[in-house]
Structure 1
Amino acid sequence: MRHFGCHAATDPAAPSGALLHLPSGESLPVLDVCRARPGAARLAFLAACGAARTSERLSDAAIPITGAFLLAGFPTAVGTLREIDSTHADHVTRDFYRRAAEEPAHGPALAAHHSVRALRERMPQRPHVRAAYVHAGA
Protein backbone atom coordinates (compact mmCIF):
# COMPACT_ATOMS: atom_id res chain seq x y z
CA MET A 1 0.00 0.00 0.00
CA ARG A 2 1.18 3.50 -0.79
CA HIS A 3 -0.36 6.48 0.97
CA PHE A 4 0.12 10.08 -0.12
CA GLY A 5 -1.17 12.91 2.05
CA CYS A 6 -0.11 15.98 0.13
CA HIS A 7 -1.15 18.41 -2.58
CA ALA A 8 -1.64 17.63 -6.26
CA ALA A 9 -1.55 19.85 -9.32
CA THR A 10 -2.57 19.53 -12.96
CA ASP A 11 -1.20 21.33 -15.97
CA PRO A 12 -3.97 22.49 -18.34
CA ALA A 13 -1.49 22.65 -21.22
CA ALA A 14 -0.03 19.17 -20.83
CA PRO A 15 -2.05 15.93 -20.56
CA SER A 16 0.68 14.24 -18.54
CA GLY A 17 1.71 17.31 -16.54
CA ALA A 18 0.00 16.40 -13.25
CA LEU A 19 2.16 15.91 -10.18
CA LEU A 20 2.11 15.35 -6.44
CA HIS A 21 3.77 17.90 -4.16
CA LEU A 22 5.30 15.63 -1.53
CA PRO A 23 5.67 16.75 2.11
CA SER A 24 9.46 16.57 1.67
CA GLY A 25 9.24 19.47 -0.79
CA GLU A 26 9.91 17.26 -3.80
CA SER A 27 7.50 16.78 -6.69
CA LEU A 28 6.42 13.43 -8.09
CA PRO A 29 5.36 13.86 -11.74
CA VAL A 30 2.64 11.64 -13.17
CA LEU A 31 5.08 10.26 -15.76
CA ASP A 32 7.35 9.00 -12.96
CA VAL A 33 4.34 7.36 -11.31
CA CYS A 34 3.46 5.63 -14.61
CA ARG A 35 7.00 4.21 -14.82
CA ALA A 36 7.00 2.90 -11.24
CA ARG A 37 6.36 -0.72 -10.44
CA PRO A 38 4.34 -1.34 -7.29
CA GLY A 39 5.87 -4.67 -6.32
CA ALA A 40 3.58 -6.10 -3.66
CA ALA A 41 1.58 -2.88 -3.19
CA ARG A 42 -2.08 -3.36 -4.05
CA LEU A 43 -3.51 0.07 -3.25
CA ALA A 44 -2.59 3.73 -3.67
CA PHE A 45 -4.51 6.06 -1.34
CA LEU A 46 -4.14 9.66 -2.43
CA ALA A 47 -5.40 12.09 0.20
CA ALA A 48 -4.16 14.79 -2.13
CA CYS A 49 -6.24 17.66 -3.40
CA GLY A 50 -7.28 16.92 -6.97
CA ALA A 51 -5.45 13.61 -7.41
CA ALA A 52 -8.24 12.29 -9.65
CA ARG A 53 -8.78 15.58 -11.51
CA THR A 54 -7.79 15.89 -15.14
CA SER A 55 -6.84 18.92 -17.18
CA GLU A 56 -9.86 20.98 -18.20
CA ARG A 57 -8.44 21.74 -21.62
CA LEU A 58 -7.41 18.20 -22.42
CA SER A 59 -9.90 16.19 -20.36
CA ASP A 60 -10.08 13.32 -22.84
CA ALA A 61 -6.28 12.96 -23.06
CA ALA A 62 -5.12 13.82 -19.54
CA ILE A 63 -3.66 11.27 -17.13
CA PRO A 64 -5.00 11.89 -13.63
CA ILE A 65 -2.67 10.92 -10.81
CA THR A 66 -4.99 8.11 -9.67
CA GLY A 67 -4.96 6.80 -13.25
CA ALA A 68 -1.17 6.93 -13.30
CA PHE A 69 -1.05 4.55 -10.35
CA LEU A 70 -3.33 2.17 -12.25
CA LEU A 71 -1.07 2.41 -15.31
CA ALA A 72 1.92 1.63 -13.10
CA GLY A 73 0.28 -1.63 -12.04
CA PHE A 74 -1.59 -0.80 -8.84
CA PRO A 75 -4.92 -2.61 -9.11
CA THR A 76 -6.77 0.07 -7.17
CA ALA A 77 -6.45 3.71 -6.16
CA VAL A 78 -8.48 6.18 -4.11
CA GLY A 79 -8.18 9.88 -4.91
CA THR A 80 -10.01 13.19 -4.91
CA LEU A 81 -11.49 15.33 -7.65
CA ARG A 82 -10.76 18.71 -6.07
CA GLU A 83 -9.42 20.41 -2.98
CA ILE A 84 -10.37 18.74 0.28
CA ASP A 85 -10.40 19.99 3.84
CA SER A 86 -7.66 18.33 5.90
CA THR A 87 -10.03 17.60 8.79
CA HIS A 88 -12.49 15.76 6.57
CA ALA A 89 -9.65 14.05 4.73
CA ASP A 90 -8.31 12.78 8.05
CA HIS A 91 -11.73 11.37 9.02
CA VAL A 92 -12.25 9.68 5.65
CA THR A 93 -8.70 8.29 5.60
CA ARG A 94 -8.87 6.86 9.12
CA ASP A 95 -12.32 5.40 8.48
CA PHE A 96 -11.18 3.90 5.17
CA TYR A 97 -8.15 2.16 6.69
CA ARG A 98 -10.18 0.91 9.67
CA ARG A 99 -12.81 -0.58 7.36
CA ALA A 100 -10.21 -2.05 5.00
CA ALA A 101 -8.40 -3.71 7.93
CA GLU A 102 -11.57 -5.02 9.60
CA GLU A 103 -12.99 -6.59 6.45
CA PRO A 104 -10.18 -7.08 3.92
CA ALA A 105 -12.27 -9.52 1.85
CA HIS A 106 -14.64 -6.68 0.92
CA GLY A 107 -11.84 -4.73 -0.74
CA PRO A 108 -10.92 -1.07 -0.99
CA ALA A 109 -13.84 -0.07 -3.22
CA LEU A 110 -16.38 -1.04 -0.56
CA ALA A 111 -14.25 0.51 2.22
CA ALA A 112 -14.16 3.78 0.26
CA HIS A 113 -17.89 3.59 -0.39
CA HIS A 114 -18.74 3.09 3.27
CA SER A 115 -16.31 5.81 4.38
CA VAL A 116 -17.95 8.32 2.06
CA ARG A 117 -21.41 7.21 3.21
CA ALA A 118 -20.35 7.76 6.83
CA LEU A 119 -19.25 11.27 5.87
CA ARG A 120 -22.65 11.79 4.24
CA GLU A 121 -24.41 10.72 7.44
CA ARG A 122 -22.30 13.13 9.50
CA MET A 123 -22.74 16.03 7.08
CA PRO A 124 -25.91 15.54 5.02
CA GLN A 125 -26.14 19.23 4.07
CA ARG A 126 -22.64 19.34 2.55
CA PRO A 127 -22.58 17.01 -0.49
CA HIS A 128 -19.60 18.85 -1.99
CA VAL A 129 -17.42 17.50 0.83
CA ARG A 130 -18.15 13.83 0.18
CA ALA A 131 -18.38 14.13 -3.60
CA ALA A 132 -14.65 14.78 -3.86
CA TYR A 133 -13.65 11.16 -3.16
CA VAL A 134 -13.40 8.54 -5.91
CA HIS A 135 -12.22 4.97 -6.23
CA ALA A 136 -10.56 3.72 -9.42
CA GLY A 137 -9.59 0.21 -10.42
CA ALA A 138 -10.68 -3.26 -9.47
Structure 2
Amino acid sequence: MPIPRAAAIVVDGDRVLIIKRFLRHSPGVGCVMCEAAEWQGPQCPGHDYAVLPGGHVEAGESAEVAALRELREETTLTGEIDRLLWTSAHNGRPAFYFLVTGVSGVPVLSGEEAAAHGPDNSFELRWVTAGEFEQVNLYPADVRSPLTSLLMG
Protein backbone atom coordinates (compact mmCIF):
# COMPACT_ATOMS: atom_id res chain seq x y z
CA MET A 1 0.00 0.00 0.00
CA PRO A 2 1.39 3.46 -0.91
CA ILE A 3 2.48 5.75 1.90
CA PRO A 4 -0.10 8.55 2.32
CA ARG A 5 0.83 12.21 1.94
CA ALA A 6 -0.46 14.97 4.22
CA ALA A 7 -0.43 18.62 3.16
CA ALA A 8 -0.84 21.80 5.18
CA ILE A 9 -2.81 24.64 3.65
CA VAL A 10 -1.78 27.98 5.16
CA VAL A 11 -3.86 30.92 3.98
CA ASP A 12 -3.11 34.63 4.31
CA GLY A 13 -6.06 36.59 2.93
CA ASP A 14 -6.36 35.60 -0.73
CA ARG A 15 -2.94 33.89 -0.79
CA VAL A 16 -1.72 30.42 0.07
CA LEU A 17 1.79 29.29 0.99
CA ILE A 18 3.46 27.03 -1.57
CA ILE A 19 6.89 25.56 -2.14
CA LYS A 20 8.12 26.48 -5.63
CA ARG A 21 10.34 23.72 -6.96
CA PHE A 22 12.79 22.98 -9.71
CA LEU A 23 13.84 19.34 -9.89
CA ARG A 24 16.15 17.60 -12.34
CA HIS A 25 17.18 14.02 -11.63
CA SER A 26 20.50 12.56 -12.70
CA PRO A 27 20.40 10.12 -15.65
CA GLY A 28 19.25 6.68 -14.57
CA VAL A 29 17.32 7.96 -11.53
CA GLY A 30 13.54 7.43 -11.65
CA CYS A 31 11.54 10.65 -11.76
CA VAL A 32 7.84 10.68 -10.87
CA MET A 33 7.43 14.01 -12.65
CA CYS A 34 8.83 12.53 -15.89
CA GLU A 35 6.49 9.56 -15.46
CA ALA A 36 3.49 11.85 -14.88
CA ALA A 37 4.38 13.87 -18.00
CA GLU A 38 5.04 10.64 -19.95
CA TRP A 39 8.53 11.89 -20.80
CA GLN A 40 10.41 9.30 -22.84
CA GLY A 41 13.82 10.98 -23.07
CA PRO A 42 17.05 9.42 -21.84
CA GLN A 43 17.40 11.88 -18.96
CA CYS A 44 15.17 14.07 -16.85
CA PRO A 45 14.76 17.50 -18.54
CA GLY A 46 13.96 19.21 -15.21
CA HIS A 47 10.61 20.32 -13.90
CA ASP A 48 9.33 23.66 -12.62
CA TYR A 49 6.33 23.19 -10.35
CA ALA A 50 4.93 24.04 -6.94
CA VAL A 51 3.45 21.97 -4.12
CA LEU A 52 1.73 22.66 -0.85
CA PRO A 53 3.90 22.06 2.22
CA GLY A 54 3.59 18.42 3.22
CA GLY A 55 5.02 14.95 2.94
CA HIS A 56 4.87 11.32 4.03
CA VAL A 57 2.70 10.17 6.89
CA GLU A 58 5.12 8.19 9.05
CA ALA A 59 4.28 4.84 10.65
CA GLY A 60 2.05 5.29 13.69
CA GLU A 61 1.36 8.93 12.81
CA SER A 62 -2.02 10.43 11.90
CA ALA A 63 -2.36 12.48 8.73
CA GLU A 64 -3.15 15.54 10.88
CA VAL A 65 0.05 15.17 12.91
CA ALA A 66 2.04 14.59 9.71
CA ALA A 67 0.69 17.78 8.10
CA LEU A 68 1.71 19.88 11.11
CA ARG A 69 5.11 18.15 11.41
CA GLU A 70 5.88 18.65 7.73
CA LEU A 71 4.80 22.29 7.89
CA ARG A 72 7.15 22.90 10.83
CA GLU A 73 10.03 20.94 9.23
CA GLU A 74 9.77 22.64 5.84
CA THR A 75 8.80 26.20 6.81
CA THR A 76 9.41 26.63 10.60
CA LEU A 77 5.72 27.62 10.95
CA THR A 78 3.50 26.15 13.65
CA GLY A 79 -0.27 26.04 13.78
CA GLU A 80 -3.24 23.84 14.42
CA ILE A 81 -5.50 21.79 12.19
CA ASP A 82 -8.80 23.55 11.55
CA ARG A 83 -10.29 20.79 9.39
CA LEU A 84 -9.74 18.32 6.58
CA LEU A 85 -10.61 20.16 3.37
CA TRP A 86 -10.44 17.29 0.87
CA THR A 87 -8.71 14.06 -0.04
CA SER A 88 -7.17 13.20 -3.37
CA ALA A 89 -4.16 11.41 -4.80
CA HIS A 90 -0.57 12.63 -5.20
CA ASN A 91 1.68 10.55 -7.48
CA GLY A 92 -0.57 7.52 -6.99
CA ARG A 93 -0.80 7.68 -3.22
CA PRO A 94 -3.58 8.92 -0.94
CA ALA A 95 -3.30 12.59 -0.05
CA PHE A 96 -4.99 14.55 2.75
CA TYR A 97 -5.29 18.35 2.59
CA PHE A 98 -5.76 20.18 5.90
CA LEU A 99 -6.52 23.82 6.57
CA VAL A 100 -4.07 25.07 9.20
CA THR A 101 -5.02 28.06 11.35
CA GLY A 102 -3.49 29.83 14.33
CA VAL A 103 -0.23 29.94 12.39
CA SER A 104 2.73 31.55 14.09
CA GLY A 105 6.18 32.41 12.88
CA VAL A 106 7.66 33.65 9.64
CA PRO A 107 8.03 31.11 6.83
CA VAL A 108 11.68 30.16 6.40
CA LEU A 109 12.87 27.25 4.28
CA SER A 110 14.26 24.62 6.63
CA GLY A 111 14.83 20.91 7.17
CA GLU A 112 15.66 18.52 4.35
CA GLU A 113 14.49 21.04 1.76
CA ALA A 114 16.99 23.66 2.94
CA ALA A 115 19.77 21.04 3.10
CA ALA A 116 19.02 19.70 -0.39
CA HIS A 117 18.56 23.14 -2.01
CA GLY A 118 20.79 23.53 -5.06
CA PRO A 119 20.83 24.07 -8.83
CA ASP A 120 19.08 20.77 -9.71
CA ASN A 121 16.84 20.60 -6.66
CA SER A 122 15.65 24.04 -5.61
CA PHE A 123 13.00 25.07 -3.12
CA GLU A 124 11.45 28.50 -2.54
CA LEU A 125 8.65 29.41 -0.16
CA ARG A 126 6.20 31.72 -1.85
CA TRP A 127 2.75 33.20 -1.23
CA VAL A 128 0.52 32.97 -4.32
CA THR A 129 -3.05 33.81 -5.28
CA ALA A 130 -5.39 31.49 -7.18
CA GLY A 131 -4.64 33.48 -10.33
CA GLU A 132 -1.01 32.33 -10.11
CA PHE A 133 -1.63 28.57 -9.78
CA GLU A 134 -1.13 27.88 -13.49
CA GLN A 135 1.95 30.12 -13.72
CA VAL A 136 3.69 28.32 -10.82
CA ASN A 137 2.38 24.95 -12.10
CA LEU A 138 0.74 23.97 -8.80
CA TYR A 139 0.94 20.18 -8.59
CA PRO A 140 -1.05 18.03 -8.64
CA ALA A 141 -3.36 20.07 -10.86
CA ASP A 142 -6.51 18.70 -9.22
CA VAL A 143 -5.79 20.76 -6.06
CA ARG A 144 -6.22 24.02 -7.98
CA SER A 145 -10.02 24.04 -8.13
CA PRO A 146 -10.79 23.31 -4.45
CA LEU A 147 -7.99 25.63 -3.38
CA THR A 148 -9.35 28.41 -5.60
CA SER A 149 -12.79 27.90 -4.04
CA LEU A 150 -11.26 28.15 -0.58
CA LEU A 151 -9.39 31.37 -1.38
CA MET A 152 -12.35 32.97 -3.16
CA GLY A 153 -14.93 31.85 -0.58
TM-score by length of 2: 0.28
Considering Cα pairs closer than 8 Å and 6+ residues apart, tell me whether 1 or 2 has the greater RCO: 2
- Say which structure is richer in helix: 1
Larger Rg: 2
Q: Which has the higher strand share?
A: 2
